[in-house]
Structure 1
Amino acid sequence: MTTSTHLLRRSRFLPLFCTQLFNAFNDNLYKTAMVLFVVYTVYNDESAEGIFSGVASFLFILPFFLLSALAGQLADMRDKAKIIRTVKMCEIGLMIIGASGLYLAWKGIAVDTVAIPLMLLALLLTGVQSTFLGPIKYAILPQHLKKDEVLAGTGLVEAGTYIAILAGTILAGWIPVEWAAGGIILTSVLGYLTSRSIPDAPAQGKVEKLDRHIIRASINLIRNVMLDRQIFYAIIAISFFWTIGAVLFIQFPPLAKNTLMASKEVASLFLVIFSVGIAIGSVSINALLKGEVSARYSPISVVIMGAFVVAFYFVCRLWQSYEITEIMGVTEFLAWPLASLIMLTLIGIAIAGGMFVVPLYAFLTTRCAPDQAARTIAANNIVNSGSMVAGSLVAMALSAIGVPVVEQLLLSAGMCLVSAWLGHRLHQAELDEGQSPA
């Protein structure tokens, strides 16, 4: 029996795994259904579509930047399982708000004045929810798992997250928007029910007073966590990775519609392929490292990711030579000679990305003190989200000044080189401190 199979049979891991599955599924069912509906039904202009996609990503990311310090303090100083249950109960209410926006947009009632603002409000609140769950889903693992199970548990959580993203993305692209509205409410209820079985995870260190001043708390948290050189490089490397991911996810829907002339089902397919690849990479790196927590494969992984982004760019440029004039469905799209190359480059980007980032998350939770794990992840989330917000703003600005979405892919490729350098510095620090064999 493998470590992964063993963990999935244990009540100390399975309820958390299922709760995270439902959470990731619901977030992506809602976000993807909303963005695809607005891009393909409400707007008919590449610049406006790119800006809306950027605004949606910005609103989802913003709470991570503002509230992660408070979320990390709560997770380290309160029972993590209790926080999860509270947040999952709140999710039911925020999904009712989102479902109302989707329903009004489907009916064509006050789309610009009420429906879209409601949908964006729910997306912002979904970001708040994920901000408070984010530090816990990794920090709780060393508390419930043995040391040699943490990498496998992290890989399973990461792979499960992307399988759930896959499922939510598929449904969002294929089911009617009114069905999505009902689905997000149902899923939020299921997520709350599974969260009730997560074992208690009380605070492990001294319970300190919460600092509710979010700016001061964020600055102090980042300063304290970044004193460790290995954690510093891991956080910065992860941040650049998710900035690349944020830019790519902003680009996908308008790229599919305006460059590849593909339907929302094809746009959904792209996100699905990306999610499958991340899941494959997440599990593969655990097999390569044989349970060891190390960043030694991270630099080459992200270099390969950048190469696939460049390949994707050139395939998209070649695709434009077809001069297609009508939106194509999945069957029509797949019939074109370059379609297989489009999908191959996408899955290559994702597999390499998963192999890059998963060891870094495991690195964060095992390198820091157990009573600091959630705050370390929270500091990571603050820096990640700040970088992703910056990436979203750059992508929105490029769209606003008329830079074609396909040309923006080169921005993502360039950032991969920075991530590779950071991954190299992290592994060098790892070797210098004797944490990994040469």
Structure 2
Amino acid sequence: MTTTTHLLRQRRFLPLFVTQLLGAFNDNLYKNAMVLYVVYSLYNSEAEEARFSAIASAAFIVPFVALSALAGQLADLRDKAGIIRIVKACEIGIMAVGAGGLFMAWQGVQVTTIAIPLMLAALFAMGLHSTFFGPIKYAILPQHLHPEEVLAGTGMVEAGTYIAILAGTILAGWIPVEAAAVTVVVTALLGFFAGRQVPSAPPQQADRPLEFPLLRPFLNHWRNPLARALGFLPVLLADQGLSAWRLVRNTLHYRPVFLAIMSISFFWTIGAVLFIQFPPLAKNVLDASKEVASLFLVVFSVGVAIGSVAINRMLKGKVSARFAPASVLVMGLFIVAFHVVCQSWTPHPTGTLLDAWAFVAEPLAVPLLLSLLGIAVAGGMFVVPLYAFLTTMVDKAETARTIAANNVVNSFAMAIGAVLAMGLSAAGVSIVNQLLLSAAMCLVSALLGWLLHKAELAHPGEIGHSF
């Protein structure tokens, strides 16, 4: 607690913490306001609702796959604080577009032809925003914090992120869509001003140009027929796809980092499947209103925040994966318990949805919410040390690219989770039974966590190099 209080008084930590908190709040307020509006106001089919929720998740994830390599290079080779200022300025314009889509949907103007595409475009752009901010929020910590502060700082960033998710999710479920549209723009402005206070974080290696293995030769010969036929954008995406592959391939050289990335990726696959399932599950299985769907996300966010703080206390500031296998196995058991309670839920008359108070008064509501809280607490205990592991087990000059490689693999894993959820829905597998997929994936995460701890013991105190 002393370390926590100390860091919150330091300019080397507080502005970054606030900037990240506001960004996570805005992401979740906007995304959940959009998804809940569409699920509860436009669609009336479990399959359509699950499909839209998966499309929204995919729109946010795709930029991580396409541009994480460039984001990681920028964060390692340029001043991280300067990138934060640019990214947060872009957020203002992105949220203005998203707010326009929400207003059009609220007014019923061209909802399916313009409003929804606008909202999805803004969500895609927020994915871009997070792609470039993501490597910085963890990579900057070892640069600004002392070694003994890194785990506490990582845990606070993670806990703060989920507190922000909590606040954004609550507001998305309880305020009108037009109020959400105004709030996301105001929050973007506040995030811009907070980001300007982050101290300079210059690169830890000599300045050198960014790598574009395909793009530069293409531009040097733009007059040739192939260049004219393909155009700039396809070559840019191909270039970044190649860079992403090279980025991930480099992490294979150092086993502890690669195993940490794989463990985190399986965790976020589980999280992606669960988050896709929550809104349609609340509406179609539990006969609950959008406020209850929001409550699920709130409980999940609170649980991860609790787990983030608890694991720091258990490890006493030491970065280690020794609790990872047990944490994720406990998470899987809570998912099974959540599935059992959902299966036992008594349906209500067609056409009636329980509000939050009526839902909590249901006999099985408390076991359901406690199961969900257990999932989240165990998940937070699993993932937080792994992020700290990534930033402390590699050279400081490589931390952002390591986080970027992690983001690429995470994004692929979450995309696979979204596709699996869509495929199971299309095949007629109920939302409740899809929960068992998440429980099964916890076994894989536990195995990876165990292998990571073994690798950690085999390389005590070693600093790896991948780039």
Determine the structure 1 residue equivalent to 2:204: 204
Determine the structure 1 residue equivalent to 2:404: 378
Determine the structure 2 residue equivalent to 1:408: 434
Determine the structure 2 residue equivalent to 1:286: 312
Q: CA RMSD in A?
A: 1.0
Q: How far is 1:219 from its partner?
A: 1.4
Determine the structure 2 residue equivalent to 1:10: 10
Q: How far is 1:353 from its partner?
A: 0.1
Instruction: State how far apart, in whole Å, the 1-side matches of 2:211 and 2:436 are.
Output: 41
Determine the structure 1 residue equivalent to 2:221: none
Q: SS at the partner of 1:244?
A: helix
Determine the structure 2 residue equivalent to 1:125: 125
Q: How far is 1:179 from its partner?
A: 0.1
**Unaligned 5+ residue runs, structure 2?**
213-238, 463-467
- The one-letter amino acid of 2:101's match is G
- The one-letter amino acid of 1:59's match is A
Q: SS at the partner of 2:266?
A: helix
Determine the structure 2 residue equivalent to 1:301: 327
Determine the structure 1 residue equivalent to 2:77: 77
Partners of 2:286 and 2:347 within 8 A in 1:
no
Aligned pairs for 1:27-66 within 5 A: 27-66=27-66
Determine the structure 1 residue equivalent to 2:278: 252
Provide TM-score, normalisation by structure 2. 0.92
Q: How far is 1:402 from its partner?
A: 2.0
Instruction: State how far apart, in whole Å, the 1-side matches of 2:49 and 2:242 are.
Output: 36
Instruction: State how far apart, in whole Å, the 2-side matches of 1:135 and 1:154 are.
Output: 13
- Out of 332, 340, 365, which is 2:358 matched to? 332
Note if 1:266 corresponds to 2:292: yes
Instruction: State how far apart, in whole Å, the 2-side matches of 1:163 and 1:424 are.
Output: 29
Q: How far is 1:210 from its partner?
A: 1.1
Determine the structure 2 residue equivalent to 1:109: 109
Instruction: State how far apart, in whole Å, the 2-side matches of 1:316 and 1:324 are.
Output: 17
Instruction: State how far apart, in whole Å, the 1-side matches of 2:432 and 2:246 are.
Output: 39
Q: How many residues align?
A: 435
Partners of 2:287 and 2:347 within 8 A in 1:
no
Give deviations 1:15-52, integer Å, cap 9, x for gaps. Answer: 00000010000000000000000000011110000000
Instruction: State how far apart, in whole Å, the 2-side matches of 1:286 and 1:343 are.
Output: 24
Q: How far is 1:208 from its partner?
A: 2.7
Give deviations 1:91-127, integer Å, cap 9, x for gaps. Answer: 0000011000000001111110000000000000000
Determine the structure 2 residue equivalent to 1:26: 26
Instruction: State how far apart, in whole Å, the 2-side matches of 1:106 and 1:196 are.
Output: 34
Q: Percent identity?
A: 64
Instruction: State how far apart, in whole Å, the 1-side matches of 2:459 and 2:180 are.
Output: 50
Note if 1:214 corresponds to 2:240: yes
Partners of 2:76 and 2:400 within 8 A in 1:
yes
Pick which of 401-410 and 210-219 moved more. Answer: 210-219
Pick which of 225-234 and 47-56 moved more. Answer: 225-234
Give deviations 1:189-247, integer Å, cap 9, x for gaps. Answer: 00000001000001011223212320221111111122110001000000000000000
Partners of 2:285 and 2:347 within 8 A in 1:
no
- Out of 396, 420, 426, which is 2:446 matched to? 420
Q: Whose Rg is larger?
A: 2
Q: SS at the partner of 1:291?
A: coil
**Unaligned 5+ residue runs, structure 1?**
none
Partners of 2:151 and 2:319 within 8 A in 1:
yes
Q: How far is 1:168 from its partner?
A: 0.3
- The one-letter amino acid of 2:196's match is R
Instruction: State how far apart, in whole Å, the 2-side matches of 1:189 and 1:145 are.
Output: 27
Q: How far is 1:324 from its partner?
A: 4.3
Give deviations 1:144-194, integer Å, cap 9, x for gaps. Answer: 000000000000000000000000000000000000000000000000000
Determine the structure 1 residue equivalent to 2:191: 191
Instruction: State how far apart, in whole Å, the 1-side matches of 2:385 and 2:408 are.
Output: 19
Instruction: State how far apart, in whole Å, the 2-side matches of 1:89 and 1:322 are.
Output: 47
- Out of 341, 357, 366, which is 1:315 matched to? 341
- Out of 207, 215, 226, which is 2:252 matched to? 226
Instruction: State how far apart, in whole Å, the 1-side matches of 2:315 and 2:179 are.
Output: 42
Instruction: State how far apart, in whole Å, the 2-side matches of 1:393 and 1:81 are.
Output: 36
